[in-house]
Structure 1
Amino acid sequence: MTDRDLEGWTIAFDLDGTLVDSAPDLIGTLNRLLVEEGLAPVAMEEAQKLIGSGARALLVHGFEAAGASVERAKSDELFQRFLTDYSAHIADGSQPFEGVVETLERLTERGALLVVATNKRSDLSELLLQKLDLARHFAAIVGPDRVSARKPSGAHLKEAVAQAGGDPERAIMVGDAAPDAGAARDAGMPCILTTFGYTPVPVETLGGDVLIDAFEDVEEAIDGILSDFYVLKALRG
């Protein structure tokens, strides 16, 4: 029988670049729009660094990378075209990173409450996770439209954890980029960062408490953080 030693703890996960390798479909939509606008597509390897702050930011960065007008990238009409195309192709090539399903199942068996805290719109996040059969693992899926402030504000994490029924004082963030690290720091939460995500700057510079090279390492990282937590708690009496 599995020891439910994570009872009372909430693990908050970023989505793109943490749970799911969603770059193929995000960049696919971006490149289709660029071509429709008479611009050259951006290379997948370079464009991955543009992901993480939401669709509008991806459009702006993508048009910048193509040497095009940023004002055009900010237009509502282009944004709606992006959403329409992306919704139709949201899981064509996107896949969970290796070890995601097994790790989420083990964390749940150990009593942890799981929540997604992402800068991706909630409806798109739910659609992607449903198509990949991942939504069932999470007590809540919380995009920026369901909180008072988006990452890197700590309010995003605190409110996401609360919406899932958890305690923000007993929560850990797992992400891949600066918005995740910044939000965790602002919320006073420990932060685990992946080295396989989409950050445009070296992940080592972001101030995460633990860096992991594979999703299978999430569980061990959580155990290390909780070990330190309970040692400090014992020392404080």
Structure 2
Amino acid sequence: MWMTDRDLEGWTIAFDLDGTLVDSAPDLIGTLNRLLVEEGLPPVPMASASALIGSGARALLVHGFEAAGASVERAQSEALFERFLVDYAGHIADSSQPFEGVAETLERLKDRGAVLVVATNKRSDLSELLLEKLDLARHFAAIVGPDRVSARKPSGAHLKEAVSLAGGDPARAVMVGDAAPDAEAARDAAMPCILVTFGFTPVPVETLGADVLLDAFEDVEEAIDGLLSDFYVSRALKF
């Protein structure tokens, strides 16, 4: 009987969520626009807000209010933030979808023995809810938002603690993300970093110093193989 070569045992792959695994822009901006309309303000176009998704709900709210010429102080209200979270939880997977190739790639990496973990600045319960609805949660040993670690990305502590919570070794881990917090956290944690070019970033992804840039998620597995090959070659040269 054919067996998968479990050549990735001992390695952990950490993934960002929004903009890396899932195109969550339609539902996040949908919530933003419903709140803006409730506040008597005009909705924002998808293109103007999607780059800010990695910065969190508060940044989206500020953008929406600024675009309408309204008070930023009003956008920073805790009550408005809570309304955002409640509305978003109710619509979290209305239109959000995994990027092409995500489910298949995660399955193959697991079959090869890798431990998979989500390290996201999205709150853990919302991350779990989204991934459950998209049938992706089953692939991950842990789903780790900022509420489950001592510091959020761009701190490397987020990645190290997420990998440890998944039962992995931070010294044998790779980060896959789409934006500056991912690249900076990986650098801080001394982890190789793969960035995808189709995610949510307000600055050009090419400037973020990734070890590998990918235009398609289907190429993640090959990129990991290349990084691990370099790791073993460099280790061999030390002896």
Using the size of structure 2 for normalisation, the TM-score is: 0.97
Please state whether the residue corresponding to 1:136 is helix, strand or coil: helix
2:196 is aligned to 194
Deviation at 1:63? 2.3
Tell me the residue number matched to 2:121: 119
Q: Within 1, Cα distance between the matches of 2:147 and 2:56? A: 11
State the one-letter code of the partner of 1:16. Answer: D
Residue ranges of structure 2 left out of the alignment (5+ in a row): none
Distance in 2, matches of 1:87 and 1:70, equals: 24
User: In the TM superposition, what is the alpha-carbon distance from 1:31 to its structure 2 partner?
Assistant: 0.7
Residue number in structure 1 paired with 2:45: 43
Q: Say which SS state the counterpart of residue 86 (structure 1) adopts.
A: helix
CA–CA separation in structure 1 for the residues paired with 2:74 and 2:160: 35
- 2:76 maps to 1:102: no
Distance in 1 (CA, whole Å) between partners of 2:69 and 2:165 is 41
The percent identity for this pair of structures is 86
Which residues in structure 2 correspond to 1:197-236 (within 5 Å)?
A: 197-236=199-238
Give the aligned residue type for 1:130.
E
Q: Note the 1:53-72 alignment, pairs <5 A.
A: 53-72=55-74
1:141 is paired with a residue whose SS is strand
Q: Deviations over 1:171-195 (max 9, x none)?
A: 0000000010010011100000000
In structure 2, the residue corresponding to 1:84 is in which secondary structure? helix
In 2, Cα distance between equivalents of 1:22 and 1:152: 20
The residue type equivalent to 1:50 in the other structure is L
1:107-133 deviations in Å (ceiling 9; x for gaps): 000000000000000000000000001
Matched, 1:75 2:77: yes
Per-residue Cα deviation, 1:51-92 (whole angstroms, up to 9, x for no partner)? 102222322233223332221111110011101100100000
Contact kept, 8 Å, 1:53 with 1:120, in 2: the verdict is no
C-alpha distance in 2, partners of 1:64/1:145? 28
Number of aligned residues: 237
Aligned to 1:85: 87
Structure 2: distance between partners of 1:171 and 1:196: 23
Structure 1 length as normaliser, TM-score? 0.98
Q: Which ranges of structure 1 fall in alignment gaps of 5 or more residues?
A: none
Choose the corresponding residue for 1:166, options 143, 159, 168.
168
SS of the equivalent of 1:52 reads helix
